[in-house]
Copies of this chain bind each other. A is one copy, B any other.
Amino acid sequence: MCAGDDKNCPDFELHHRQFKETLDRERRSFLRSSFAAAGGAAAMTAGGISLVTPKMAAAAEKHQPAQRSYHHLPANADTVHWGYFSKTLKPRVEINSGDFITIEALTHHANDDAERMVTGDPGVESVYLWTKEKKGVNRRGAGPMDASLFGRGPGEGLGVHICTGPVYVRGAEEGDVIELRIIDVAPRPCANPKYPGKAFGSNAAAWWGFHYKDLITEPKPREVVTIYEVDATGERNWARAVYNFTWTPQTDPSGVVHKTIDYPGVPVDHSTVKENHGILKNVRIPVRPHFGVIGLTPKEADFVDSIPPSYTGGNIDNWRIGKGATMYYPVAVEGGLLSVGDSHASQGDSELCGTAIECSLNGTFQVILHKKADLAGTALEALDYPMLETKDEWLVHGFSFANYLSELGPKAQSEIYNKSSVDLALRDAFRKMRKFLMTTKKLTEDEAISLISLGVDFGVTQVVDGNWGVHAVIRKDIFAGGES
């Protein structure tokens, strides 16, 4: 089934009308929302100090059309790329600085329970389409298309996330910074009429998890998938487990047997697994909707594995990258080429078992371009890592390797999986926070180091994404005594 954008589809007219209606509903809903009513983006930064000063905002506005546009980028087989970032991709939409855009993000774990996460949803169905003859999205990863490496399927071995995009930001060039304001995040409702008002997600405790070689009960090792239910209205702030099952070998439509979770989107045949219901009874998982993957496209390689996060963002997996947060990314290629994916209903710092509650979400963003020439002497000058700002805090993201693509040489994309440690990520986070305080707050190195020891908290972002992460958090009100 097409998503209203395949003119060869016999039902194109019907689908296209449906798609336009959905889009219009989203847009009207957005414009009516309390956000817009309260003064829109201008109201966002009123609560605290922002890295973007009024002067910087004025400079950025010069590059913006007078009229803001609103865009909607649905997720379907034509608008996603699966498992990689690539500067060779054709942009799915072009926008201007200042524009708003709703981007639908799909979880790459939807086929763990197709009945709850795929069935009846045209966009998801078009992406997950996989018969012996045809795949809606053939390449799933940055690996070889002939699947010679492991024989699992095209793109195998490197990358897993369904990414919607890329979005081309007009005027963006290397050295610029893109400010991405996350205006709203909402769960994608289940389209199966059996489950009205609900959304679902999957948590896979998988072979790449930190726990995997450290299990204490039998059978060992094992991979366990837990399906969670989320309130689709977003009003109930906790999720609950529905059931879990231990992964058994699954034969995909191409005939390949997957003994472990080794290829994205393999459909799970529920007649081959034992569903354990009544688990995690009375446990309420705090919901923290966010995007595991948001990033611009790096320049170092044509196809870049979506798993390891790096200097242009990507799979950072910080649960704070949700509604109300602002991210700053350095632009590496023309147009920036922004993509969004790996949406999560909930995750703890460390994402220990390998995944979060992987759950499709819609995000509404405003994109602001800051030109390199306007950044001299500002907090964003020479930004070379993805930076997070919330109402109350600034966060820098440290990785085991700040830019593994350039640091680890030609084999970077495989080497990164063998060389990560939290110690290295902590050191990178320390260096970035020191730089931030010295450049943004004009502290001496000794002032910065003392302040870091007393007022900065370091947390383990994730230890499962190849390039492990540590984030450093500093509260804005530390500077409430006035600018240094």
Contact = CB atoms under 8 A, between A and B. Distances in A.
Interface stretch (A17-25, A49-57, A213-221, A378-386): A213-221
Interface stretch (A6-14, A131-139, A421-429): A421-429
Nearest to A422: B422
B210 A348 contact: no
A356 B421 contact: no
A447 to B, nearest CB: 5
Contacts of A481: 240, 281-284
Contact of A453 (B283, B351, B447, B460): B351
A160 interface: no
Nearest to A346: B454
Given A283-B451, A352-B458, 14 more contacts: A203-B453, A203-B454, A205-B449, A209-B449, A217-B445, A280-B484, A283-B478, A284-B479, A285-B451, A348-B455, A349-B456, A356-B453, A421-B422, A422-B460
A480 B284 CA distance: 7
Interface string A243-259: 01010000000000000
A138 B423 CA distance: 37
A355 interface: yes
10 contacts: A209-B449, A216-B434, A241-B450, A281-B481, A283-B478, A285-B478, A351-B453, A352-B458, A422-B423, A423-B423
Contact of A459 (B210, B286, B352, B459): B459
Interface residues of A, number: 73
A147 interface: no
A216 B448 CA distance: 12
A357 interface: yes
Most buried by B among A215, A240, A346, A426: A426
Interface in A185-244: 203, 205, 209-211, 214-217, 224, 226, 228, 239-241, 244
Contacts of A94: none
Interface of A: 203, 205, 209-211, 214-217, 224, 226, 228, 239-241, 244, 246, 279-286, 346-357, 421-423, 426-427, 430-431, 434, 443-447, 449-460, 463, 470, 475, 477-484
A353 B453 contact: yes
A283 B484 contact: yes
Given A348-B456, A460-B458, A353 B450 contact: yes
B348 A216 contact: no
Contacts of A353: 449-450, 452-453
Nearest to A357: B454
A304 B266 CA distance: 55
Nearest to A468: B423
B449 A211 contact: yes
Contacts of A479: 282-284
A397 to B, nearest CB: 14
Contact of A352 (B209, B351, B452, B477): B452
A484 B475 CA distance: 36
Nearest to A431: B214
B350 A458 contact: yes
A469 B226 CA distance: 30
A211 B350 CA distance: 23
A346 B454 CA distance: 6
B430 A210 contact: yes
Contacts of A454: 203, 228, 239, 285, 346-348, 356-357
A449 B350 contact: no
A455 B286 contact: yes
